Structure 1
Amino acid sequence: MNSLERVKAAIAFAPADHTPAVPQLFGHAAALAGVALEDYIRNGELLARCQIEAYRHYGHDMVFAFMDFSVETEALGSVLQYRANQYPDVVSYVLTPDSDVSALAVPDPTSAGRMPELLRAASILRREIGKEMPVAGCVLGPMTLATQLLGIETALYLAADDPGRFEKILDFAAEVAVRYGIAQIEAGAHLPIVFDPAASPAVVPPQFFRELLLPRLKRVFAAYRAAGALANWLNIAGPTAPILPWYPEAGVDIANFDYYVDPAEAQKLLPATCLDGNMKSLSFVEARPEEITAAAARLVTAFAGRGGFLLSSGCEIPLEAKPENIAALVAAARGGD
Structure 2
Amino acid sequence: MKRNMKQWVTDYINAPAKKGMPILSFPGIQLIGHTVEELVRSGELQAQCMKAIADRFDTGVAFSLMDLSVEAEAFGAPVHYSEDEVPTVHGTLINDEDEAEALKVPKVGDGRTGECVEGIRRACELITDRPVLAGIIGPYSLAGRLLDMTEIMILCYEEPEMVESVLEKATEFLIEYAKAFKEAGANGVCMAEPAAGLLSPNLIDEFSTPYVQKIREAVEDENFVVMYHNCGNITPLMQNISDIDAVAYSVGNAIDIEEALKVIPADKMIIGNIDPAGTIRNGNPETVYKETTDLLERCGKYPNFVIASGCDIPPVSPMENIEAFFDAVRDFYNK
TM-score, length basis structure 1: 0.90
User: Could you say which residue in structure 1 is the equivalent of 2:168?
Assistant: 171
User: Could you say which residue in structure 1 is the equivalent of 2:244?
Assistant: 250
User: Could you say which residue in structure 2 is the equivalent of 1:122?
Assistant: 120
Alignment of 1:296 with 2:295, yes or no, is no
Q: Give the Cα separation in 2 of the matches to 1:322 and 1:299.
A: 21
Shift in CA distance, 45/216, structure 1 to aligned 2, threshold 3 Å: same
Q: CA deviation at 1:36?
A: 0.8
* % identical aligned pairs: 26
User: Could you say which residue in structure 1 is the equivalent of 2:110?
Assistant: 112
Deviations 1:10-52 (A, max 9, x none): 5556432621211111322113432111000000001110111
User: Could you say which residue in structure 1 is the equivalent of 2:317?
Assistant: 321
User: Could you say which residue in structure 2 is the equivalent of 1:149?
Assistant: 146
The letter for the 2-side match of 1:93 is T
User: Could you say which residue in structure 1 is the equivalent of 2:188?
Assistant: 191
Q: Residue 227 of structure 2: which of 233, 242, 248 is its match?
A: 233
CA contact (8 A) 1:97 1:158 kept: no
Shift in CA distance, 296/89, structure 1 to aligned 2, threshold 3 Å: closer
Q: Give the Cα separation in 1 of the matches to 2:12 and 2:49.
A: 31
Shift in CA distance, 194/121, structure 1 to aligned 2, threshold 3 Å: same
Q: Residue 308 of structure 2: which of 312, 320, 326 is its match?
A: 312
Q: Give the Cα separation in 2 of the matches to 1:181 and 1:330.
A: 30
Could you say what secondary structure the match of 1:133 adopts?
coil
Q: CA deviation at 1:277?
A: 0.3
Could you say what secondary structure the match of 1:222 adopts?
helix
Q: Give the Cα separation in 2 of the matches to 1:315 and 1:67.
A: 9
User: Could you say which residue in structure 2 is the equivalent of 1:15?
Assistant: 14
Q: CA deviation at 1:61?
A: 2.3
Q: Give the Cα separation in 1 of the matches to 2:250 and 2:13.
A: 19
Q: CA deviation at 1:313?
A: 0.7
Q: CA deviation at 1:80?
A: 2.0
Select between 46-55 and 249-258 the one with higher mean Cα deviation. 249-258
- Unpaired runs of at least 5, structure 1: none
Q: Residue 201 of structure 2: which of 182, 206, 214 is its match?
A: 206
Q: Give the Cα separation in 1 of the matches to 2:253 and 2:74.
A: 33
- Unpaired runs of at least 5, structure 2: none
TM-score, length basis structure 2: 0.90
Q: Give the Cα separation in 1 of the matches to 2:206 and 2:80.
A: 34
The letter for the 2-side match of 1:47 is Q
Q: CA deviation at 1:96?
A: 1.6
Q: CA deviation at 1:308?
A: 1.6
Write the mapping of 1:275-294 to structure 2, written as runs, cut at 5 A.
Answer: 275-281=270-276, 282-294=278-290
Q: Give the Cα separation in 2 of the matches to 1:229 and 1:108.
A: 25
Q: Give the Cα separation in 2 of the matches to 1:76 and 1:99.
A: 16
Select between 282-291 and 37-46 the one with higher mean Cα deviation. 282-291
CA contact (8 A) 2:6 2:225 kept: no
Q: Give the Cα separation in 1 of the matches to 2:310 and 2:6.
A: 17
Q: CA deviation at 1:271?
A: 3.2
The letter for the 1-side match of 2:210 is P
Q: Give the Cα separation in 2 of the matches to 1:92 and 1:73.
A: 11
CA contact (8 A) 2:273 2:308 kept: yes
RMSD, aligned CA? 2.3
Q: CA deviation at 1:279?
A: 0.5
Q: Give the Cα separation in 1 of the matches to 2:5 and 2:99.
A: 46
Q: Give the Cα separation in 2 of the matches to 1:248 and 1:76.
A: 30
CA contact (8 A) 1:123 1:189 kept: yes
User: Could you say which residue in structure 2 is the equivalent of 1:94?
Assistant: 93
The letter for the 1-side match of 2:119 is A
Q: Give the Cα separation in 2 of the matches to 1:80 and 1:265.
A: 36
User: Could you say which residue in structure 2 is the equivalent of 1:54?
Assistant: 53
CA contact (8 A) 1:279 1:314 kept: yes
Could you say what secondary structure the match of 2:306 adopts?
strand
The letter for the 2-side match of 1:237 is C
Q: CA deviation at 1:159?
A: 2.0
The letter for the 1-side match of 2:246 is V
Select between 56-65 and 9-18 the one with higher mean Cα deviation. 9-18
User: Could you say which residue in structure 2 is the equivalent of 1:29?
Assistant: 28
The letter for the 1-side match of 2:118 is R
